[in-house]
Amino acid sequence: MTHLLAQGQVLAQGPDWISFDVASFVDQFWSNTFDGLTYGAIYALIAMGYTMVYGVLQLINFAHSEVFIVGAYALFFTLAALGFGPSAPNLNVFALIGDLVLAMLVAMLAAGAIAVLLERVAYRPLRRRKAPRLAFLITAIGASFAIQYAIFAWRGPNPEPALIMFRPQPMFDIFGTIIYDQQVVIFVAALVLMVIVDQFVNRTRLGRGLRAVAQDPDTATLMGVNRERVIVLTFLIGGFLAGAAALFYVMKVPSGVQYNGGFILGIKAFAAAVLGGIGNIRGALLGGLLLGVLGNYGQTLFGNAQWTDVVAFVVLVGILMVRPTGLLGESLGKARV
Amino acid sequence: MTTTSETSAGTPSKGGDRRLLGGLRDRWNGLPRAQQWLWLIPLVVLIYALPVLNPPLLTTEPGTNFPIALFDAARFALLAIGLNVVVGQAGLLDLGYVGFFAVGAYVAALLTSPDSMLTKIPYLWTLPIAMIVTMLAGLLLGGPTLRLRGDYLAIVTLGFGEIIRLLATIVGPLKGQVGFQGVGRPPGTSADGQPLFTTSNGTTWYWLVVTITIVILLLVGNLERSRVGRAWIAIREDEDAAQIMGVPTVRFKLWAFVIGAAIGGLSGALFAGQVGFVNNQKFDVPTSVLFLAAVVLGGSGNKVGVIVGAFLVSYIPNRFVELAGYKYLIFGVALIVLMAFRPQGLLGARQRLLAYGRQAYKRLVGKPEQLASDNPMTNERGGQA
């Protein structure tokens, strides 16, 4: 705000307050798009955790970013124990996939466990007391901080050393832009996971219970749905997806394992959920992909990596103002009859 | 007036401290205003004398310089009073309060520091300018976003705080981590020709902030007792009902937001002056949550409560330096525990009007009223049943 006020007086002498770099924006348009889709798939996976919990509890689980980062730590230690290091290991494809799947499973279990624990320790006592939503929100913030700074006290402020899982190899060439196998792996794997969850929610008995609770908890309970179990299940699935996202994120950003590494990512994932329509699983995917691409555009247009974050926040504020129900609307239970 | 502990319904009435505090407060509220002032004067004198007295148990030395720790506490208290208008009075959860604080600090830095390219002005002028600019920032943020409620508003304000910090990092002339040195200070020299206000001397700064805080307290107190304050409480308790009853909710929410912002900006400018240095490092989300912790800890909606909360939040890391590294962990856990066991904070809010109403009810009916919802933090569905 201050800079806007001061702009008039400064333009004559100083450097530009904000500069546009249209040339490199045009130059890197396609590579930005594809890379943005990769990031977007990761956002979408995390966004699922927000959107499902919101659908069932009408609660923004602020601490979900910490669920993610716990998964990332579990992944890091598993990979380190498996012998991954600062340079890519020389493994054959099957051994590599085996190791990565193992690490991902550990991360998923850790993240799922912490999500369920969180529900048990922080949120359930409040639900018992029928606490107001403000109390839930403050608890969520408190939990987010408690986990973040517990990790800080344990691991210190610096990121963990980078672990390289494999060296990305060029795969295709589209519009003169090389696409790496890493990007394809992340995008496809994330997509598959989300399709699985979507099908689970839409096709299975448990999924039907989940949708029922999202639509009307009281009636669902009368119809014999165990609400508590559905809530735990929701947190568990969200945690699993966050743990899986940890693998892809560390694959993409090897130095991303840090005590507060989940925070901004969490906000972006939440923005993605809101963009697509919070409570809507497919919306989370759409919102994630869009946000990933937009963030990358912003980054090259304004010429600084931190602009991705600003874009995420601006998109969040913008979408809430113009269309608070998001692009696809709220539909975990509500719209789908 | 003596057996009034039941009037604090809405919370399980166990625990002697609750009874004690409630009794004290009721006795205090029962006193005539003149008598209240009489009691307040020695208290205020004591507060002013604190840095000179440097009481042995309370002191933060040798870890932290005691007057500076007191300045810290006072600036936290000022902030908490501002945030309390937004969170405690109007019930708008603002997680981006640090953004206003940052704007205030940057106004002071840009207008006084030799590192800035702008025209320099005397430091004291930056205080009102900081308030005006942050008010505009509050309008800018609040105007479009105040239609949102609860969680959404919280996350949007969080985004605002982060945008401010990121802009401070990215935008060249705001100098990112390099920051601004030599931010101005109020004029004046002591008898021996030394400047009164320095970065190493907290005492004068503390006195300045305490004075400003008292003025702000009086202003905010008057506001709370006015139509505006009643509208805020109505909005906090039930926004839809308030709107239906003809309260222009958006306008009053904006009021709360703007006033809160101005106080935050003022506090930021004071902080910048005392520290003498502003960069992007002090304005992150953890700081914002610390501000919120101050308000919620003491009891949001209660001015004395938030001052106590602010004191705790700033004093504990300064006094027990070995704990300072864990302060976010401690306050994070404190927030969880507080919400589970005492959601109204250490000193819960009690609106005077409601309290008077209850007294009248008790006189008339002869027994205390059953239902009470004092505060958004207490049970909104009216009791445990």
Task: State which residue of chain A sits closest to B344, comparing Cα positions.
Answer: A135
Q: pLDDT, tens digit, for every residue of B175-210?
A: 777 878 878 778 877 777 777 777 777 788 888 899
Place B264 in a pLDDT band, splitting at 50, 70 and 90: very high
Is the CB of residue A75 less than 8 Å from the CB of residue A107? Answer: yes
In a domain, B382, yes or no: no
Please list every residue in chain A whose beta carbon sits closer than 8 Å to the beta carbon of residue B155.
Answer: 60, 267, 270, 274, 316
Distance separating alpha carbons of residues A70 and B270, to the nearest angstrom: 39
- Amino acid B233 reads I
Contact: A9, B118; criterion CB under 8 Å? yes
ipTM above 0.95, yes or no: no
By CA distance, what is A144's nearest residue in B? Answer: B332
Closest partner residue to B156 (CB to CB) among A152, A153, A316 is A316
Average pLDDT over residues B110-126: 82
Residue at B26 is within a domain: no
Q: Comparing C-alpha atoms, which of B177, B188, B181 is closest to residue B110? A: B181
Q: Looking at the complex, report in whole angstroms how far the Cα of residue A162 sits from the nearest Cα belonging to chain B.
A: 25
Task: Give the minimum alpha-carbon distance from A40 to chain B in angstroms, rounded to a whole number.
Answer: 19
Q: Is the CB of B340 less than 8 angstroms away from the CB of A125?
A: yes
Contacts of A147 in chain B (CB under 8 A): 332
For residue A259, list chain B residues with Cβ-Cβ distance below 8 A: none
- Rounded CA-CA distance B195/B60 in Å is 25
Option in A125, A142, A304 nearest B335 (CB): A142
Contacts of A16 in chain B (CB under 8 A): 172
* Whole-number average pLDDT of chain B: 79
Q: What is the mean pLDDT of residues A198-202?
A: 88
Contacts A314 to B, Cβ<8 Å: 159, 163
Q: Is B293 part of a structural domain of the chain?
A: no
> What is the mean predicted confidence (pLDDT) over A168-179?
78
Least confident of A53-57, A76-80, B33-37: B33-37
For the ranges B46-55, B131-140, B358-367, the maximum mean pLDDT occurs at B131-140
Measure B51 CA to nearest chain A CA, in Å.
32
Q: Could B137 and A126 be called an inter-chain contact, meaning their C-beta atoms sit closer than 8 Å? A: no
pLDDT digits (tens, 9 = 90+) for B302-326: 888 888 889 888 888 888 877 777 8
Percentage with pLDDT > 70 across chain B: 84
DSSP summary character for residue A171: E
Nearest-Cα distance to chain A for B298, in Å, is 14
A18, A302, A317: residue with CB nearest B159: A317
Scanning every residue of chain A, which has its alpha carbon at the shortest distance from the alpha carbon of B11? A129
User: Per the CB < 8 Å rule, is B167 touching A153?
Assistant: no
- Which residue in chain B has the smallest CA separation from A125? B340
- The domain in which residue B103 lies consists of 65-189+197-284
Two tokens, residue B268 = 């930021």
A276 or B8: which carries more pLDDT confidence? A276
Rounded to an integer, the average pLDDT of B147-173 is 82
pLDDT per residue as tens digits for the range A234-268: 999 999 999 999 999 988 888 888 888 888 888 88
Is there a domain that residue B60 lies in? no
Give the model confidence (pLDDT) of B336-384 as tens digits. Answer: 888 888 777 777 655 555 555 666 666 676 665 554 444 444 444 333 3
- Taking the C-alpha atoms of residue A85 and residue A265, their distance in angstroms, rounded to an integer, is 24
Average confidence (pLDDT) over A216-235: 87
When mean pLDDT is compared over A25-29, B5-9, B41-45, the highest value belongs to: B41-45
Say yes or no for a CB contact (<8 Å) between A14 and B110: no
State whether B340 and A139 contact (CB < 8 Å): yes
Cα dist from B196 to B184, B208, B211, B237, B326, whole Å: 13, 11, 16, 46, 34
pLDDT at A12: 37
Is the model's pLDDT at B265 over the cut of 90? yes
Characterize the bridge pairing of strands A170-174 and A177-180.
Answer: antiparallel
Q: What is the pLDDT of residue B349?
A: 59
Query: Is residue B206 assigned to a domain?
Result: yes
Q: Are residues B127 and B184 in contact, defined by beta-carbon separation less than 8 angstroms?
A: no
Smallest Cβ–Cβ distance between A10 and the set B118, B336, B377 belongs to B118
Question: Rounded to whole angstroms, how far apart are CA atoms B175 and B193?
Answer: 34
What is the separation, in whole angstroms, between the first and last Cα of chain A? 46
| CB contacts, 8 Å: A324 with chain B | 148, 152
**pLDDT class for B132, splitting at 50, 70, 90?**
very high
Q: Return the pLDDT at B369.
A: 54
In this predicted structure, the answer to whether residue B10 has a pLDDT above a threshold of 50 is no
- Number of helices (H), then strands (E), belonging to chain B: the values are 14, 0
Is the pLDDT assigned to residue B169 strictly greater than 50? yes
Determine the residue of chain A that is closest to B237 in CA distance: A132
Min Cα–Cα distance to chain B from A150, Å: 6
Whether residue B141 is contained in a domain is answered as: yes
Question: For chain B, how many structural domains are there in total?
Answer: 1
Taking the CA of residue B221 and the nearest CA in chain A, the distance in Å comes to 24
Find the CB nearest B167 among A3, A133, A134: A3
Q: Phi/psi at A173 (nearest 5 deg)?
A: -135, 110
Q: Is the pLDDT of residue A199 over 70?
A: yes
Could you tell me which residue, A6 or A75, shows the higher pLDDT?
Answer: A75
Q: Do B155 and A270 touch (CB under 8 A)?
A: yes
Taking only the tens place, the pLDDT of each residue in A101-160 is 999 999 999 999 999 999 998 888 888 888 777 788 888 888 998 998 888 888 888 888
From A85's Cα to the closest Cα of chain B, the distance in A is 30
Instruction: List the single best residue of B339, B375, B378, B380 to mutate versus A (max A Cβ within 10 A).
Output: B339
Identity of the residue in A2, A267, A302 whose CB atom sits nearest the CB atom of B106: A2
Number of CB atoms found within 10 A of residue B140's CB:
14
CA distance A241 to A263: 16
Percent of chain A with pLDDT over 70: 91
Chain center to CA of A262: 8
Q: What's the pLDDT tens digit per position in B270-299?
A: 999 888 888 888 888 888 888 988 888 887
Query: B322 lies in a domain?
Result: no
Q: How far apart are CA A42 and CA B156, in angstroms?
A: 22
What pLDDT score was predicted for residue B102? 93
Over residues A17-33, the pLDDT tens digits come to 666 777 777 777 787 88
Mean pLDDT of chain A: 82
Average pLDDT of span B111-123: 81
Q: Average of pLDDT values for A26-49?
A: 85
CA distance A103 to chain B (A): 28
Q: Is residue B265 part of a domain?
A: yes
